[in-house]
Amino acid sequence: MLDDMRKKIDAVDLEILKLLNERTGYVLEIGKRKAKENTPFYRPEREREIFDRLEANNTGPFPNSAIKIVFREIMSASLSLEKPLKIAFLGPVATFTHQASLQHFGLSGKFVPKRNIAEVFEDVEKGRADFGVVPIENSTEGVVTHTLDMFVKSELKISAELMLEVSLCLMNKTGKTEDIVKVCSHPNPLAQCKGWLKNNLPDAVLCDVSSTAHAAKMAEEETDVAAVASAAAANLYNLRIIEQGIEDTQNNYTRFLIISRNESNATGNDKTSLVFAIKDSPGALYKMLRPFAARGLNLTKIESRPTKTKAWEYLFFVDLDGHTADENVKAAIEELAPVCSFLKVLGSYPKSVKEPA
């Protein structure tokens, strides 16, 4: 009986393989047409459409949560035959940005770690990378200001976003808490678990470093150093995890942006990001908000930053529901423009769903 069931599974596996090759043939044909028409090979909105359709038509028992994982790798492998994607990300490897890159593009992309956010933007701007992945904000520690600043001077567009659940681990070489003298990590993860560290390692020296992966490398080399990093970093640097999930707040998410030279088409479930400076005048704040409120547009985020060119002048970064192809969004931006001294649309892109680490 068991052998019969296994034979049936084997037959299904062969049919799946046959269909995968058939699907890949269609993908390659589309790739040839895209090359002739000089259109982008990778479209985030098309990927979202596929995921949504498959989940809507899934009758089980295969879980919906696994559909995206499986088909992301299918699409990643197929796309690599069309044109291997080169993705620049804020490195080094085994950081949460690297993890976000893998989850968004699949394992078949070519991932290039960069030393800082400016280098990620530069690689994409100069065509050395097709896409870039940068962090933009954490649910507990707030915005990544350097990413915001880069958008002011860059002509790149946001083509997608990813919300990644961040689970932080304490790790060192020996696996023993008593060996820890110093705890190292990027400032944001240290801040995200400062309560746990204060309660459990009150005498340890906290040390800011450039990344969680750098901290893990330090812990690999020095037995009195512990790192706050991801489980992937522990595997890469041969460290022992002392405690998992040490972040102070549950549902700890970091939002990442996918940047490129191309804009994304509308999906019907999109977000638009803007940056602008308003002219100093009575009622300026009201004039900024009125175009959106009058059209019932939901502003999901407002962040201000100094312009750095004149004292007490600020840039406003705004996220809103909708796409610039939507008439109400387009009209709101057109009404906003005359009251601004500076206005730029950073991109319209598919809304992210929260993904586990």
Choosing from 256, 292, 316, 317, the catalytic residue is 256
Start-end of CATH 1.20.59.10 domains in the chain = 2-82
Integer CA distances (angstroms), 312 to 279, 285, 338, in order: 12, 15, 21
How many other CB atoms are found less than 10 A from the CB of residue 105?
27
H-assigned helices in 184-272: 187-192, 194-200, 212-221, 231-236
Q: Does domain 270-352 have CATH number 3.40.50.360?
A: no
Choosing from 212, 254, 267, 272, the catalytic residue is 254
Start-end of CATH 3.30.70.260 domains in the chain = 270-352
Catalytic site includes residue 254? yes
Q: CA 257 to CA 270: how far, in whole Å?
A: 14
Q: What is the pLDDT of residue 6?
A: 87
Q: What is the pLDDT of residue 279?
A: 75
Start-end of CATH 3.40.190.10 domains in the chain = 86-166+253-260, 169-244
CA-based nearest residue to 162, from 14, 44, 303: 44
- For domain 86-166+253-260, which architecture applies? 3-Layer(aba) Sandwich (3.40)
pLDDT in tens, the chain (357 residues): 788 888 889 999 999 999 999 998 888 888 888 778 777 777 788 888 888 899 999 998 999 888 988 998 888 888 888 778 899 999 888 888 999 999 999 888 899 999 899 999 999 999 999 999 999 988 777 788 889 889 988 999 999 999 998 889 999 999 999 999 999 998 889 999 999 999 999 999 999 998 898 999 999 999 999 999 999 899 999 999 999 999 988 788 899 999 999 889 898 899 999 999 887 778 878 888 999 999 999 999 998 888 776 666 778 999 999 999 999 999 999 999 998 888 999 999 999 876 655
Q: CA 227 to CA 239: how far, in whole Å?
A: 9
Class of domain 2-82: mainly alpha
Q: pTM of the full predicted structure?
A: 0.83
Class of domain 169-244: alpha beta
What would the DSSP string read from start to end of 94-121? Answer: TSHHHHHHHHHH-TTSEEEEESSHHHHH
Catalytic site includes residue 24? no
